[in-house]
Amino acid sequence: MTHWVTFIAFVALLISGGEIVIPHPRFYWGEVGNVNTRPLFVVPIPASRDTVPTRYGYVLTDENGWGRNLHFEAAWVVVFAGLVYGIFGLWSGHFRENLVPRRRDWTWRAYWDRLAQYRGRKRTDGTEANTYNVLQRTAYLGVIFVLFPLIIWTGLAMSPSFTSVFPLTAALLGGRQSARTIHFFVSWLLLLFLIVHVTMVARSGFWSRTRAMITGHMRDSKEGD
Amino acid sequence: MNPISRRKLIYGSVAAAASVGGLAVAQRLATHYGLIPPDSGELYGAGATLTYACQRLLTARTPAREFPRSMISKNPFANEVAPPTDEFKRLRAGGFRDWRLFVDGTVAQPMSLSIADLSSLPVHSQITEVACEEGWSYIAEWIGTPLSEVLREAGVLPQSRYVVYYAIEKGLWESIDMADAMHPDTILTLGMNDGDLPVPFGGPLRLRVPRQLGYKSLKYLTHITVTDDIKKFGSGKGSVDPDYGYSWYAGI
């Protein structure tokens, strides 16, 4: 349930986040940055403001109103879904049992073996269907406990009102513009995760997996996939 | 029906009823404590209302982030707005001696203040960041008199809820709630970085609202109206921003 709500909200965040870059596709490090300061890098796209120098001879229309509105609306949805998921995960032991790598897998060797298995395109044995392996567990933990908190933190660090209460949220990151830059990169990491995640699900049989997500259990392979 | 699903059904109904009841109570409380923004009925009103309510509860009195003098931007970006009107040019030619700031609405004593009048009021200076909704920012020192000083002198009536403010250009107006209006960092800005406020940055008079994004810091300020009914202004959504798809509250 929270998975699909988060998925829809995440797509909305990606689209609106992409839009929010368009008015000013320049990124900086530190507290301040504008067209009179040197950028860290420039995204090679046209801008929606004629005050921003780009290599294009035209200016896109201003779509930042709905872009920002949709972004914050969807961010609230993700925060609520995340709270429900987090409370459920702690209460049911889902994190401990299914996501924290098993103790015997706390070695480089375990990661290496699993990587080799993916590279060899070996089909998995039957036990794979019902549990996550060490690579999956690490990836999920990273997304849930590192990337999502980081993208919320860097997002809030750009709020002039929020930072009036918690100035350190911006200062610890090196400033407002650093927060914006980190926010940009973390969103790419999350998109990368989404692509790998969907690819992996597709390789293991998209419809049976999706059906399992909705019904809550995996059918035996003899019933047919 | 087996007992488990019956139990689930009962829990589900109780949870649903509690949510509906909870929402109704929350809405009553939020209205009472002024946590519903004027544009809450817009397409994205739910998110805008949540943001405004949370930030208003957290930030009613918190000071804007300030910076050391060494961090003042050497080349601040003015982002010049539409070319000033003929009236502006006339006032500028006269050294802004005839510039007036009108204060009216739900106040005991409507006023009309010149730049000289404003300069004689207590001065406050702050080194704060202008952050634009587009993504860029700069830091400057802003010097002026807190809006609250003028409002106190005019005598704000107790039913007042918002302060509406207008630029010299027709159709350009904003509003803030009383928490922001009475906040010591909300200043009628006359100076910038130890000089007069330059025209491209909003001179001779700009309202700085440093805890919100740049578009709330209106340039070329001529008129302030205190009100108890924001719906009477424009399309009733608190400012021109919702007419362009932007949210009235810009704390994020």
pLDDT by residue (tens digit) across B178-204?
999 999 999 999 999 989 999 999 989
**Radius of gyration from C-alpha coordinates of chain B:** 21
Determine, yes or no, domain membership for B245. no
3-state secondary structure of B189: strand
pLDDT category, A155, cuts 50, 70, 90?
A: very high
Determine, yes or no, domain membership for A15. no
Whether A164 and B246 lie within 8 Å, measured CB to CB? no
Whether A31 and B139 lie within 8 Å, measured CB to CB? yes
Whether A163 and B246 lie within 8 Å, measured CB to CB? no
Residues A67-112 have pLDDT tens digits of 999 999 999 999 999 999 999 999 999 988 888 888 888 888 888 8
User: For B57-82, what is the mean pLDDT?
Assistant: 91
CA distance A141 to chain B (A): 28
3-state secondary structure of B109: coil
Question: In chain A, how many domains are there?
Answer: 1
By CB neighbour count within 10 A (0-12 exposed, 13-18 middle, 19+ buried), where does B248 fall? Answer: buried
The boundaries of the domain holding residue B129 are 64-231
**B211 contacts in A (CB within 8 Å)?**
160-161, 164
Question: In chain B, how many domains are there?
Answer: 1
Out of A23, A72, A159, the one facing B134 most closely (by C-beta) is A23
Whether A34 and B47 lie within 8 Å, measured CB to CB? no
pLDDT category, A221, cuts 50, 70, 90?
A: very low
pLDDT category, A121, cuts 50, 70, 90?
A: low
pLDDT recorded at residue A55: 92
Whether B211 and A161 lie within 8 Å, measured CB to CB? yes
Determine, yes or no, domain membership for A1. no
Residues B77-121 have pLDDT tens digits of 999 766 678 999 999 999 999 999 999 999 999 999 999 999 999
User: For A192-217, what is the mean pLDDT?
Assistant: 83
- Summary mean pLDDT of chain B: 92
Whether A32 and B48 lie within 8 Å, measured CB to CB? no
What single string gives the DSSP state of each residue in chain A? Answer: -HHHHHHHHHHHHHHHHHHHHTT--EE-SSS-B-TTS--SEE-SS--SSTTS--SSS------HHHHHHHHHHHHHHHHHHHHHHHHHHHHHTHIIIIISPPGGG-SHHHHHHHHHHHHTTPPPPGGGGGS--HHHHHHHHHIIIIIHHHHHHHHHTT-TTHHHH-THHHHTTTSHHHHHHHHHHHHHHHHHHHHHHHHHHHHTTHHHHHHHHHHSSPPPGGG--
Q: Which residues of A touch B (CB under 8 A)?
A: 20-21, 23-24, 26, 31-37, 49, 51, 62, 64-66, 68-70, 72-76, 156, 158-165, 167, 170, 176-177, 180
pLDDT recorded at residue B2: 55
User: For A164-170, what is the mean pLDDT?
Assistant: 96
Determine, yes or no, domain membership for B46. no
Whether B135 and A21 lie within 8 Å, measured CB to CB? yes
User: Where does residue B189 fall: left (phi above 0), alpha (psi -120 to 50 degrees), or beta otherwise?
Assistant: beta
Tokens of A117: 């298995």
Determine, yes or no, domain membership for B52. no
Q: Are A82 and A67 in contact (CB under 8 A)?
A: no
Residue B64 has pLDDT above 50, yes or no: yes
CA distance A114 to chain B (A): 40
Determine, yes or no, domain membership for B153. yes
User: For A45-57, what is the mean pLDDT?
Assistant: 94
Residue A223 has pLDDT above 50, yes or no: no
User: For B226-242, what is the mean pLDDT?
Assistant: 95
Residues B49-58 have pLDDT tens digits of 999 999 999 9
Residue A225 has pLDDT above 50, yes or no: no
pLDDT recorded at residue B192: 97
User: For B17-26, what is the mean pLDDT?
Assistant: 81
Strand-pair category, B221-227 with B100-105: parallel
- Summary mean pLDDT of chain A: 89
Whether B210 and A160 lie within 8 Å, measured CB to CB? yes
Helix %, strand %, coil % of chain A (to 5): 65, 0, 30
Residue A23 is given by DSSP the state T
Percent of chain B surpassing pLDDT 70: 97
Contact B184/A at CB under 8 A: no
Determine, yes or no, domain membership for A173. yes
Predicted complex: ipTM over 0.95:
no
CA distance B41 to chain A (A): 13
pLDDT category, B174, cuts 50, 70, 90?
A: very high
User: For A172-194, what is the mean pLDDT?
Assistant: 97
pLDDT recorded at residue A208: 76
Whether B134 and A21 lie within 8 Å, measured CB to CB? no
Tokens of B14: 């109780």
User: For B233-244, what is the mean pLDDT?
Assistant: 94
Q: Which residues contact A143 (CB under 8 A, 6 or more apart)?
A: A190, A193
Contact B120/A at CB under 8 A: no
For residue A42, the cross-strand partners are A26
pLDDT category, A158, cuts 50, 70, 90?
A: very high
Determine, yes or no, domain membership for B98. yes
CATH value at residue B160: 3.90.420.10
Determine, yes or no, domain membership for B58. no
What values do phi and psi take at A175, rounded to 5? 125, 175
Tokens of B219: 């340039």
pLDDT category, B137, cuts 50, 70, 90?
A: very high
Determine, yes or no, domain membership for A126. yes
pLDDT category, A122, cuts 50, 70, 90?
A: low
Determine, yes or no, domain membership for B1. no
The boundaries of the domain holding residue A145 are 93-225
User: For B142-157, what is the mean pLDDT?
Assistant: 97
CA closest to B49 among chain A residues: A73
pLDDT recorded at residue A135: 87
Q: Is the pTM of this model over 0.80?
A: yes
pLDDT recorded at residue B222: 96
Determine, yes or no, domain membership for B112. yes
Q: How far apart are CA A136 and CA A140, in angstroms?
A: 6
End-to-end, the C-alpha distance of chain A in Å comes to 23
pLDDT recorded at residue A127: 55
User: For B18-40, what is the mean pLDDT?
Assistant: 84
User: For A194-208, what is the mean pLDDT?
Assistant: 85
Whether A35 and B77 lie within 8 Å, measured CB to CB? yes
